[in-house]
Structure 1
Amino acid sequence: MLSEIFGNGLYDPQVKWYVVLIMLLAWCAIKLLFDKIMFHTDKVEIFISGKEVLIIRDGELDHKMLEKNCLDLRDLKEALRKQSIFSINEVEHAYLEKDGSITVKKKAAFEPVTKGDLNIKVK
């Protein structure tokens, strides 16, 4: 949006500098207004930005949510492989985040072993 305001104003000789300035100020005001509204009102934020969606619940794939969010099984498997998960059976919960990324909680049997699991005391 900013590039359009600047680009059209800088390269179009018919557009005056003060028009570009007014447009920039208007854009900033609208941006600040929406940020303020979204910060104070959860419903508006969800409407504008969306919210995360649970696509795997307790190890079961939710085909309805995949279809609703236009995500096919191949895309999901690719996103899981990028997180070193090669089987859906390893996943307890998976969320499709607002930005399109996938967040995964593995089943306990597939989680890496920690020092706490081995009762190793950390100094």
Structure 2
Amino acid sequence: MNDYLSIVTELLIGFVFLFIVIKFLGKTQFSQVTPFEFISAIILGELVGNAIYDEEVKIGHIMLAIFTWGAIIFVVEMLTQKFKRTRKLLEGEPNIVIHQGQIKYDALKKAKIDINTLQSLIRQQGYFSIQEVEYGIIESNGKASVLPKSEYDTPKNSDLKVPYKPVNLPITLILDGEVVFDNLKEVGFDEKWLKDQLAMQSITNYKEVLYAEWLVSKPLYVVKYEKRSS
């Protein structure tokens, strides 16, 4: 029983300290993964994983290892921000693998990807043929950025001379049967207005509503809970 309790305790402590380190270092550890960040994520996971199953490793060892590695990552991040020459080494650099519609095999080789992988990366950007691409760049995090040829590019409203229309953000007012009062206040309405809007849709209780959303110049959008068949 003590072994199980020890594992649970070490997991919880490891999670807390890893979370603190990740929050301190910022979103780069889980969004744009560079080679160095990938290595750091593996090592941080190994530190906790080994500690769980190694009885000789104490909680203090876990804390020291995590904060030491976190300090190393922080120093490296500071170096890449202040000294441009270190960025290429630690973060990598983008590779232009398609230039003016032509595949650059040397760049593909440098990025260590083959044609099949390139096709897959391009498809993920919404283009299903290399012939549609004018420029293709493999970013340092392994993702592809694509600039299509003009005949395959999506036209913008400005290209079509479409008149400007303001873009508004939908606001959630009810979620899981509960009113989000902060959002209601933000849009400038009160609870009486909300009740009146619901009454217009024959709803008398918030608990009937799964989701309600407000958008400028549109009626309140309401999704009711499905009635369960008896």
Same fold (TM over 0.5): yes
Counterpart of 2:86 (choices 32, 41, 44) is 44
Q: Evaluate the alpha carbon distance shift between residue 7 and residue 61 of structure 1 in structure 2; reply closer, same or farther with a 3 A threshold.
A: closer
Q: Evaluate the alpha carbon distance shift between residue 40 and residue 115 of structure 1 in structure 2; reply closer, same or farther with a 3 A threshold.
A: same
Deviation track 1:63-99 (CA, whole Å, cap 9, x = no partner) reads 1111222221122122222223122221111101111
- Overall identity of the aligned pairs, in %: 27
Larger Rg: 2
Deviation track 1:8-51 (CA, whole Å, cap 9, x = no partner) reads 33432223333333223322221221111111112112101101
In the other structure, the counterpart of 1:60 is 102
Letter in 2 for 1:75: T
Counterpart of 1:3 (choices 38, 45, 50) is 45
Aligned mates of 2:67, 2:156 — CA distance in 1: 53
Asked if 1:121 is matched to 2:163, the reply is yes
In the other structure, the counterpart of 2:74 is 32
Match of 1:2, SS? helix
Structure with bigger RCO (C-alpha 8 Å, 6+ apart): 1
* Deviating more after overlay: 5-14 vs 73-82: 5-14
Structure 1 alignment gaps of length 5 or more: none
Asked if 1:78 is matched to 2:120, the reply is yes
Aligned mates of 1:80, 1:65 — CA distance in 2: 16
Structure 2 alignment gaps of length 5 or more: 1-42, 166-230
Q: CA RMSD in A?
A: 1.8
Q: TM-score, normalised by structure 1?
A: 0.85
Aligned mates of 1:17, 1:82 — CA distance in 2: 43
In the other structure, the counterpart of 1:103 is 145
> How many Å apart are 1:116 and its aligned residue?
1.5
In the other structure, the counterpart of 2:130 is 88
Letter in 1 for 2:148: K
Match of 2:136, SS? strand
> How many Å apart are 1:55 and its aligned residue?
0.6
Q: TM-score, normalised by structure 2?
A: 0.49
Letter in 1 for 2:68: A
Match of 2:47, SS? helix
Q: Evaluate the alpha carbon distance shift between residue 108 and residue 47 of structure 1 in structure 2; reply closer, same or farther with a 3 A threshold.
A: same
Q: Evaluate the alpha carbon distance shift between residue 85 and residue 9 of structure 1 in structure 2; reply closer, same or farther with a 3 A threshold.
A: closer
Match of 2:96, SS? strand
